[in-house]
Chain A
């Protein structure tokens, strides 16, 4: 951090100091070369430095440039430039990613009285943000707010997207934003000349440069820039045979009397449930929900019913092979893949699905009685597992591979009689009953019990691990019995369960709960004596 030493900047006022913060591999080196070239072309003194090396491998990197105009009266004199940026002493900071803008602020390179901060607002998530079982992403609003507060000027927009749309890399749009900001006293043509002298790919670079230039210079985003989310959603609410549409309308009608906050969840929930099985399943969902709402409390804003609408839908839509096969054989999915790989007319697309089913998943597909019968015989399970348990690559562009998944997806209509459905329905009922019974005494605790459904997700071992976390969190309920902070503790336990995969945080949290409940018990015993 800046030590806060007093200083007198007049003697070095002529030097422009510019730092670039990027993620290794993003092209910070290219941008630095361009800026150096630009200053040289303009007849200025310039010096650039970097710490290339191992940080280039996806780590945070810093490049640094200093420049000043040549003094005609002393042509032999060479300025003494520094080799690294110093806190509180940088005029322009370019961040090639939003968290790197935050890092620039944190390291003191951005000062409110002098620094123009030019940042691409897109995120490249760090490993630490991705490996959390819950949501580990950094809060972008804090990054944006602090960057704005800390800088004299904060120019930010998604420069990565502009680069991608022009089929080039972010250095072009960053250079464009720098030019458009007007922070360097060189004409636009000089910037463009530098890009052009780079040779290969110059046209694409110049296109991205131009768009970023306009945005940084204050032009509103072009029409194409706004992501067209809404129109896509509206395009097709629901389609299908008349009689099914009618049933759907009826179901949808049943959500109308629900209190507003509940309805906001119930409509997507209902869609999800009907999409999973059929309208009758949707009716089941509505019936359960209506029962919950009937006994809910208006003074609590129907919080319990709202969470029930959300998590009941998630619980009813369990992840089985049928669902996976169904989702992977839809025409909309094929279209999404084509868009993802940006398929052109004369190209062909082959799709391979990575499956690894095990016997546990297969018996879920069997009729309840048969499935349970096999499950009860571990030796048989193991023998059968020898045939089943291996990775399967299924080509869904071929008739054979697609056909196989299509047939599995067709098992949908038998679902109600299958083992997995029975197991899930029982589990769901126990959970909902538990939540409702807790809710009767302690409303907030009931809501928290509902929310613990979030812990159950994934397939195979991941699913088993989620289930066990769910059990362990709710297993603490007896310990918390009668405490008025019980709801808060369940919330903390749930958050701990989502913090890491191995349950280290959860173990710690459970130990804490055990320690204070034991302490309470021992005091109680003493007073009893």
Chain B
């Protein structure tokens, strides 16, 4: 199961009318779904919405009571396709995933769904992974909303606003027969705050009731002539209905006074803008300000007359729109031009075109805008232009090391890449295609393996061009077990079989979708009461037609991993060579095993705990072992010895005894410094007896030798 247990969070889903909910934004959305009488929820995990999926997966009891169907979908496309249940039936449904990567995958289903339209409210919650800490390409979800014409909500980043956006989202969807996307940025998902809860509601129609009473309407199916009608319906019926709903319910908010300038912003930008105004002396802690603000809690569609009204009589407005292209600013420009307005439109230019709008960016952007157009609003000490930025301390910049994410202590994927590096030392460099997942950390030092990443499950697909009888070398591509089941089996493996690709494919199987938080997938080894697990990847490969399949059940065997890779790269067998390298994600394994082991020790059972160590006087300080590991617990330290220049290797107390360092030292023939120490708790009597005999003999041998030589005191560590 997942990395964490969510029992405490699940209890928050039970809060009733008038009780105060306190927790993270993403959990507030989960609660809001139940309050809105949602009938079914599907989604695919990924930061920042994994939490929603994990909590619902642990909330089967509540969902059962309410008659809500929950699915951990196979992909974002599956999750979005699931919303088809709201096409003919008045059932509210929600799908959730990471964006824009998930939206990319979902877009086929999204376009079909949007074309026919919906009867029951359909809400797509996209967790926007943009800006600092993001692990994906920097794009906007906004474009998807525009091209498929689904409405896009971007509420102010506080819990009451987000919860209200979920409620209005369903109603807007139903009022306009259009799916609605709710965009929440990564920090809003993780923001901790409070809101006053309402009772959970049973769906007005459950999926069970719908199944019992099937309906159909040819006019909702995407096929001519209906599809042409859909397009017209979108602009003639659904869009006006949506605008009417937005206006009537005042989804967009106006704050501030009657100044000569105004700021128009995406809802998600509100707190940052208010902070900038606070720092400029123009707003108080509660956000009360004289500067007129128009907050777009709905960023698509725009309500033209509201915008024109806000701009009327103003000298200049600033559009605060994060990311690019700047669709909102462009649309507003077109509206103002057609309306013959004279207001100055500012946005990109005063604010940077690309990149996250951080506090600093907003402070200087809003400051510059106001200095330029409304100097008199500013307190005198702030009217001065910006001072030059403080120079970066170059010494410090050189000293502070980069710290990108990497493999955890004991990660089973580390030895796979150590083996790959060893193979490359022997056979030369290869074209290596990477995929999405923790294994992508191979591109970082110390491994620096992998040339491209083209999408989830698309590692082998991205190497498909490299299939040439003229080359003496094969491509190597990686795909994780998560990516394998998401898309890889067909798009990568099936494609390689069909096109007789001669490359080598490594499936990194760690028993979970590990990078997204350790969710179960088809090949997971865990018992899961609500899911079918334990479907071997090797069987799927064979079923797909792969002839050459090797399965390693212990990735830590670096020598075997290296030899298998070598065999795959050199065998005369044609067609794809697939190696499945399986070992459990160490983070999840530790979370699963630790409490069990602790209990077993307490009960007097025999339990072995392993730790690795380095003999510091044997280590010569070359650090070759680190260049094949990068394990956080394998580190270096300076010895208190004037004869030594370089620090030696050392394994700290976080070691989980995976054995990678020892195996690498062996496979790469590095050095004999590593030792494995197995601590046996509650040893058996026979073990004790044998150990006693050994200890005596060894002690005698040591004493004998040590009595005949000089023994110097050890240098302190």
- The answer for the CA separation of A26 and B131 in the assembled complex, in Å, is 23
Output the residue of B280, B408, B632, B707 with the most chain A CB within 10 A: B632
For B693, give the chain A residue with the smallest CB separation: A399
- The answer for the CA separation of A15 and B402 in the assembled complex, in Å, is 31
User: B157's contact among A83, A239, A498, by CB below 8 Å, is which?
Assistant: A83
Chain A, residues 221-233, CB within 8 Å of chain B (1/0): the string is 0000001011011
Chain A, residues 149-189, CB within 8 Å of chain B (1/0): the string is 00000000000000010000000000000000000000000
User: B643's contact among A129, A314, A346, by CB below 8 Å, is which?
Assistant: A314
Closest-CB distance, B668 to chain A (whole angstroms): 8
Closest-CB distance, A220 to chain B (whole angstroms): 23
Chain A, residues 18-41, CB within 8 Å of chain B (1/0): the string is 000001110000000000100010
Chain B residues near A482 (CB-CB < 8 A)? none
User: A351's contact among B390, B617, B676, B703, by CB below 8 Å, is which?
Assistant: B676
In the complex, A386 has a CB within 8 A of chain B? no
Closest-CB distance, A84 to chain B (whole angstroms): 6
Chain A residues near B193 (CB-CB < 8 A)? 47
Q: Which B positions have Cβ atoms within 8 angstroms of A?
A: 22, 47-48, 129, 132-135, 157-158, 186-188, 190-193, 270-272, 274-275, 278-281, 283-287, 358-360, 363-364, 367, 379, 381-382, 384, 386-390, 392-393, 395-397, 399-409, 438, 441, 444-446, 515, 559, 611, 613, 615, 617-618, 620-624, 626-627, 630, 632, 634-636, 638, 640-643, 645-647, 653, 662-663, 665-672, 674-683, 687-688, 691, 693-694, 697-699, 701-703, 705-716
Task: Select the stretch in A240-248, A367-375, A420-428, A435-443 that faces chain B.
Answer: A240-248
- The answer for the CA separation of A113 and B519 in the assembled complex, in Å, is 46
- The answer to whether A128 touches B401, judged by C-beta atoms less than 8 angstroms apart, is yes
Chain A residues near B635 (CB-CB < 8 A)? 124-125, 130
User: A53's contact among B133, B396, B672, B675, by CB below 8 Å, is which?
Assistant: B133
Chain A residues near B402 (CB-CB < 8 A)? 126, 128
- The answer for the CA separation of A131 and B625 in the assembled complex, in Å, is 8
Closest-CB distance, B163 to chain A (whole angstroms): 14
- The answer for the CA separation of A383 and B703 in the assembled complex, in Å, is 39
- The answer for the CA separation of A53 and B48 in the assembled complex, in Å, is 7
Q: A47-B192, A131-B623 are in contact. List 13 more A-B contacts (CB 8 A).
A: A6-B367, A8-B379, A55-B133, A56-B405, A86-B363, A106-B396, A327-B617, A343-B679, A350-B678, A352-B678, A402-B694, A402-B698, A457-B622
- The answer to whether B393 touches A397, judged by C-beta atoms less than 8 angstroms apart, is no
User: A350's contact among B409, B674, B680, by CB below 8 Å, is which?
Assistant: B680
Closest-CB distance, A327 to chain B (whole angstroms): 5
Considering only residues 465-479 of chain A, those with a C-beta below 8 Å from chain B are 466
In the complex, A524 has a CB within 8 A of chain B? no
- The answer for the CA separation of A87 and B388 in the assembled complex, in Å, is 14
Chain B residues near A294 (CB-CB < 8 A)? none
Considering only residues 76-123 of chain A, those with a C-beta below 8 Å from chain B are 77-87, 89, 99-100, 102-103, 105-106, 108
In the complex, A264 has a CB within 8 A of chain B? yes
- The answer to whether A457 touches B621, judged by C-beta atoms less than 8 angstroms apart, is yes
- The answer to whether B672 touches A1, judged by C-beta atoms less than 8 angstroms apart, is no
Chain B residues near A11 (CB-CB < 8 A)? 278, 281, 283-285
- The answer for the CA separation of A244 and B709 in the assembled complex, in Å, is 7
In the complex, A527 has a CB within 8 A of chain B? no
In the complex, A332 has a CB within 8 A of chain B? yes
- The answer to whether A337 touches B401, judged by C-beta atoms less than 8 angstroms apart, is no
Chain B residues near A204 (CB-CB < 8 A)? none
- The answer for the CA separation of A198 and B615 in the assembled complex, in Å, is 39
- The answer to whether A341 touches B677, judged by C-beta atoms less than 8 angstroms apart, is yes
- The answer to whether A275 touches B271, judged by C-beta atoms less than 8 angstroms apart, is no
In the complex, A415 has a CB within 8 A of chain B? no
In the complex, A305 has a CB within 8 A of chain B? no
Closest-CB distance, B325 to chain A (whole angstroms): 24
Closest-CB distance, B25 to chain A (whole angstroms): 9
- The answer for the CA separation of A459 and B620 in the assembled complex, in Å, is 8
- The answer to whether A351 touches B627, judged by C-beta atoms less than 8 angstroms apart, is no
In the complex, A319 has a CB within 8 A of chain B? yes
- The answer to whether A54 touches B405, judged by C-beta atoms less than 8 angstroms apart, is yes
Chain A residues near B647 (CB-CB < 8 A)? 135, 137
- The answer to whether B392 touches A131, judged by C-beta atoms less than 8 angstroms apart, is no
- The answer to whether B280 touches A55, judged by C-beta atoms less than 8 angstroms apart, is no
Closest-CB distance, A310 to chain B (whole angstroms): 6
Closest-CB distance, B114 to chain A (whole angstroms): 29
- The answer to whether B396 touches A142, judged by C-beta atoms less than 8 angstroms apart, is yes
